[in-house]
Structure 1
């Protein structure tokens, strides 16, 4: 039987284990995908640890994985433009770590032949999140955008998209990632005490918008730099959203994913892969992600 990765109790990466699954049968408007690779994201780590247990309880065994790349294996009724054998990528909800997934055809995008499976699997979550976040913040040509954790997965894509839109980007990162940020077109700045002063020295006209992927002290710095709280947004700090009236960023858009795939095919968007692991080593992939120091994406590969 096909395999998937799940956990039957909250805990450390060791709780992840293989389970057998029935091959899913697509219904109307659905596809069955034979997975070639699946992206691993911080939200997967948080779900496995039980960070959401109070607000989002799960039924064990609980599967993981919100993005995939693979080959169309079966096509349900009412699906147009996709056939068995097509190479695709897209989003799903807590089922990507598997040999087969069932997805809505409307959420699926064709994979360019030039795009490796690992990149295809690592693009949907960070790509759609970054694209949607910049739209929510109203980033436009001439803006100066501050991106906290700019060397991370979402930050890497958001930096590139903001630069493509005509904005200037200042990105916070540890010193060893500064050259990396420069390669993406951003001006790097080290986080920590004195951050606000360091940023003010970098921009004579101030900061127009902030995309935060850190929370906490990064929010305090953002509030000191940007007077319009509707141009400050966070991906991670729900408390700051309610306390300060800033934006909660994120969301999915298949149209955005198509645009991102086109940018990649044109050579204008790059998705670095930090590490790959076979599906059976999902625990090792989680360890790599939860360090918080992965530059680019961690991806599971499926033979």
Structure 2
């Protein structure tokens, strides 16, 4: 077990008021220490997700996640174990890890429960062949995609319509559906067509007339995943997809199941990281920013049209 005197400082992105990117500040804070059953991670990269800025945008949203001021920012991280508390088993100093720590990942150090959840922190071993920037993008989007696809239970006989296929979760959902053998039709803007093809989807432009455009592509749509709202749900129903094979992640529709990354199987992220290491799943990085440019990073990510993941180097 490695000990520190606790007098040194660390850096962390904090909010002293809820709001947009302008509410984010980088501050010196007391360096956190790993207690019993905990590990400390020296964070090298933090991947951003829509939930990061949505849940800190106002007091009502923050309360839903149990956040109070002052609070940290960001959830996905990757780094190296640099301190281990008593009875924290399964890790050694220097282990490369990635995981999630709710609204406190964009910091020089995060303390994680060795056997925790998203609130107390989760750490998975980073496989050889996966760099830290990529590892920092996996937890939230990867587990959400895995949970949604578990609902749909896709196979080689399926054609799945994925709405918002080019977003952060779509990066994983499209590729995991293809790995399962399914045909994927992905909605996006006209300018995203080449990007969706790169992911493995057959692109179709969203908006009015989507039902007819999907029908013109031929074949029977057997499942649907709405990664944005409810438009894809309604289109899927018009195409004859039963509610039992439709899933959402960002909206509640009566009769349709909603997937949450917390519901993903414990092996889901290890499987995804293994696919990345094997070169079978690619994670496009749309932009990287130093931590001092956190506001610019969040502005890019929250624009909703970013193709791939945004990463903050810590």
Please classify the TM superposition score into its range, dividing by the shorter chain length. Answer: over 0.9
Q: How does 1:62-77 map to 2 (within 5 A)?
A: 62-77=71-86
2:309 to 291, 297, 300: 297
1:214 to 214, 220, 228: 228
The aligned counterpart of 1:47 is: 55
Quick check: 1:226–1:232 contact (8 Å CA) kept in 2?
no
* Residue 264 (structure 2) pairs with residue 250 (structure 1): no
* Residue 242 (structure 2) pairs with residue 234 (structure 1): no
* Residue 132 (structure 2) pairs with residue 124 (structure 1): no
Listed one character per residue, the Cα deviations across residues 21-80 of structure 1 (whole Å, up to 9, x for unaligned) are 332222333210000001111011212222615644631112121111001011122333
* Residue 24 (structure 2) pairs with residue 12 (structure 1): no
SS at match of 1:14: helix
Aligned residues between the structures = 297
1:194 to 209, 217, 220: 209
SS at match of 2:293: helix
TM-score normalised by L of structure 1:
0.92
> Are the structure 2 counterparts of residues 192 and 94 from structure 1 closer, same or farther at C-alpha, using a change threshold of 3 Å?
same
* Residue 181 (structure 2) pairs with residue 172 (structure 1): no
1:95 deviates by: 0.9
The aligned counterpart of 1:274 is: 286
> Are the structure 2 counterparts of residues 116 and 57 from structure 1 closer, same or farther at C-alpha, using a change threshold of 3 Å?
closer
The aligned counterpart of 2:167 is: 152
Once residues 45 and 70 of structure 2 are traced to their aligned partners in structure 1, the CA distance between those partners, rounded to angstroms, is: 21
1:21 to 11, 26, 29: 29
* Residue 98 (structure 2) pairs with residue 89 (structure 1): yes
TM-score normalised by L of structure 2:
0.89
SS at match of 1:48: coil
SS at match of 1:162: helix
Once residues 81 and 249 of structure 1 are traced to their aligned partners in structure 2, the CA distance between those partners, rounded to angstroms, is: 29
Any unmatched runs of 5+ in structure 1?
A: none
Root mean square deviation, CA, Å? 1.7
1:103 to 104, 112, 115: 112
1:223 to 223, 237, 243: 237
SS at match of 1:147: strand
Q: In proportion to residue count, which structure has more helix?
A: 1
Once residues 259 and 268 of structure 2 are traced to their aligned partners in structure 1, the CA distance between those partners, rounded to angstroms, is: 15
Once residues 204 and 286 of structure 2 are traced to their aligned partners in structure 1, the CA distance between those partners, rounded to angstroms, is: 22
* Residue 193 (structure 2) pairs with residue 183 (structure 1): no
Any unmatched runs of 5+ in structure 2?
A: 1-8, 116-121
Listed one character per residue, the Cα deviations across residues 222-272 of structure 1 (whole Å, up to 9, x for unaligned) are 22224421211111113x2xxx22111122344111111111111101011
Quick check: 2:225–2:233 contact (8 Å CA) kept in 1?
no
Quick check: 1:108–1:254 contact (8 Å CA) kept in 2?
no
Listed one character per residue, the Cα deviations across residues 8-28 of structure 1 (whole Å, up to 9, x for unaligned) are 222221111123333222233
